[in-house]
Structures are given as C-alpha cells and as structure tokens.
Structure 1
Amino acid sequence: MIANRLSEEAERAAERYALVTKEWQRLYDEALGADDFGSAALTARIMAAAYQVSLRHIADEDAHIEGALSAIAQSARETTLSQIASIEASDLSDDALEHLAQSQSYLINEIAAQMQRDLATLRQKLQAAALAVRASVRTRRMNERMAMLDYRMSSFGKLEFTFYDRRSYRWISRKFVRTVWRHTLLAAYNEMVLMTAADHGHAEIAVVTESEGVLQTQGQVSLRDDALGYAAACEHFFHPNSTCFLSMEAGHV
C-alpha cells in the first residue's frame, strides 16, 4: 500500500533527524559542564562541532532522498503502465529524472533550512544559559557550580528544537521533517502518475484510497479542466498525511 510506504519512509527520516538533535543535546550538556562555560571560545567550539554534525547529516540525507524518490517514482510509473496495459519500458525518462532532481533539491533545502533554525536555537540557548548562571551568582548568592546545577535541573536545561508555520503553529523539528518528507514523496508519486498518463494520452486520473487491497475512489483529476486539475486536487486531497493518491484504476465509489 503506497500510503503506508510513504509514511514508513518519512518516519525513518524523522528518526534520523532525531539522532541529530540528540547529538546537539549532548553538545549542549557538554558545554554546561565545561570549565570555560560562558566563554566565547567554548561557544565557538560547540557550534563548530554542531555544524559538522549537520553537514554529515545533510550529505547522508541527500543520498536517502535520492534513493527514496527514485524508488517511489519507479513504482508509480510501473503501476501506471500496468494499469493502462502498456508494454513500454518502465525506465524513467530524462524529463522524469529532471523532475525528481528538483524534488530532491527542494526537500534537502527544506531540511537544511530547519537545521539552520535549530542551530540558531542551540546558540541562543548557550547564550541564555550563560546569562542565567551569571545572574544567579550575582543576585542569589550562589557559587557558579551551584548556579549551574540549579540551571541544569530546571526545564531550561533541555533543548527543544521547533518550527513555527505560517499560522504560528509550533511543530517539533522531528515532526516537521517527517511531514515535509512524506509530502514530497506523495507529490513525487502523484506527479509521476500524471506524467506517465499524459505521455499515453490519458487525461482523466482517479483520486483513490486503498484499504485491505481494495481501492475506493474519492475524486478525479482532469488534465483538460483546470477546475478539476492537479492543483485543485492538491488543495483538497493531498495534504501531507493524506492516504489519497492518483491511480489510472478507479475504485469503488
């Protein structure tokens, strides 16, 4: 079932990102326990190490994205060719490969942008921790060791990496990564169905869901009618967690 496959790929991506944030938390904890805590040199060292973590992740993730998009697109093309009873070779065309490259670039840029936001959060938290400890030493008559212990035991000792969308809704970074991954894969699948159908002269494609191997038709995309076009279907059916997808084989209504 394609919807489950998309979710599984996205969840694996989220788990990989969670490992990155776990490493950033470790670096933050290391900074709080350092002898030169609060110094500019320490902040520079921690941020340099955190940045290297992000670079490694981006390099690894780019390969994951390329593989996942290629597999999803190949599946969409093979399924569509089978449904229209075409004996054409299932290899992806140059146009399809170029389209996938653009999808890959979009997704890796979204992840890189979130990493930049999260790295900025790490830097800000290091600065906030130094300020809070200094304030406790000066105003609460605590030595630095006790002030640091007090800070680490508070809720501020735990990093939270988040993303705010256009409606100011707050997302945990891990969830954001899962969402953007799944949405990109869903779009890649649907767009490969559209490209394959159009190449073979088909202008009407069903919007379906699948349950226990049975397709259920939810709507239709028409390449002849903008009101029923793919853009309209995206707004109505294809949100990031949608179980709908495009198919040349209509299901039960």
Structure 2
Amino acid sequence: MSKIRRSERLIDMTFYLLERPNTLISLSNFVERYDSAKSSISEDIGIIRRTFMMRGIGMLETLPGAGGGVLYTPGISKDESQKFLNDIKNEIAQIDRILPGGYLYLSDLLTNPEILKTIGRMIATQYADSSIDVVMTVATKGIPIAQSVANYLNVPFVIVRRDSKITEGSTISVNYASESSDRIQKMELSKRSLKAGSNVLVVDDFMKGGGTIIGMKSLIEEFDANYIGATVFVENSTTSNNVSENSITSMFKVNEIDPNKKSVSIDEGNFIENTNFNYFE
C-alpha cells in the first residue's frame, strides 16, 4: 500500500486489527503496509490502544522482542454487559414468548446480529485469559452463539451431533442423560474435529437440567482434550447443582414459566460474578 495520510492510516490500521482478533501482528508488517517509520506506527498504536480502552472495545498489547508485535484482544466493559443483560432480561420476560409445554421462544434473539455480536464479545471477555483453542456446541440452536464467540476468540468451532453424518467420517460418541426427554441419548463428534490437548469452551442457547453440557464434557474427555468451562444464554432454575460442579455460567436464569397465568419469572444468571472485567477497564 502506498504512503497515506495519518488519519487514513489510523482508520485502516484499526480495521486491520479488528479483523484479526487474538493474532500477533508484527510492527514491520505495518511499517511496510503504510511505508511509514516504526516510531510513527508506535504512536498510532498508542492512540488506538487508548481509544479501545476508553470505548470498551478491548485490549491492544505491544509485545517486545524479535518475535513480538501487536495483539488485539476483544472485550467488553462491565457496564455495557450489565446494560445488555438488563435490556434482554426484559425482552425475554414478555408473556408472548411462552410456548406450549412451558418453553420460551428465543429464536428471534439468537438470530439478531447485534445481539449475537454482544453475546460473542461477552463470552470472549469471560475467557480472554483461558487460551481457548476450540469452541464447542451441540446442533442446532447453539450454533449462532458458537460462531460469534469463535469469531471474537479467533478459533474454530465444532458442532456435536446426535446422529451420524456420512460427511463427518468416523466419529467418537458418548451416551448422556437428556434433561428434555428423560432418557439416555447419544452424541457424537468427528474424530478429525478435535485434537488431543485442546482447550475447549462449551456454549449453548438453553440449559434445562445440565445433561447436554455434562455429555459434551464427557465427549471432550474422550478426545483427551481439556474442558475449560461452559456458558449458556439461558438456564432453567433446576440446574443449580450442575452449575457449581461443572463450571457452567449462564447469562439468564428462568425461575418459572406459568402458561396459565401467562407469566415468566427470570433473573440474571451468574455471568457478571464469573467474569473478570479488570483486563478491559
């Protein structure tokens, strides 16, 4: 790229960094890209770093040495997270979300790009210092969340399925107790999907009893990988024991759904208390 004005360089550099989260970028890359002195690039990085911190966009680190460079870690502030939780809690509590059988309609929220981006930033913030290698979810409604989190962490995501797909090749499977059907079910994952020793983060949209999360934890162990933790969008109040025992975080907790009274009792989950925001504030 030919030499450009500083204002243009700052815009392009910011976009370049935002598109490459958790990727170490050498200073020489920017020097060559903008045909600018290393000292000028360092000043620009300082400006971007302060702006990222002030606006709650994330952390920009400069790592010294021959193998060093610039590393952008996406994040979100505690205040912005709290505002999101307050707004979405009120939205979930709307009585027209109650479905037959005592379920809640959440699909519109989990297909909204802005909501998904915020969920992804929040979960990425929670696990910013956990060296996550892979994000895992179960088909199908957890996929948008997994994709958003994986994008901010800049890692692959894998999808656990309950039935075999010929395109997956050979698989590893485990049996687990399903909280929705009160019977034993099977989940499986392609042998090529997960490497031994990988640090795995589990995400999902709704957790009723915790059986699916525990099943994925068992599956991770079958791959000789490391279960780091799990974060779900909404949990049912009946999961209290499983939450503490299996490092499960929830953004919202449904206490009661009463189709007859047309009422939904919902609280915030334990996301705020389980997340260290100091890194981004």
> TM-score by structure 2 length?
0.25
**Higher strand proportion (structure 1 or 2):** 2
Determine which structure has more spread, i.e. the larger CA radius of gyration. Answer: 1
> TM-score by structure 1 length?
0.27
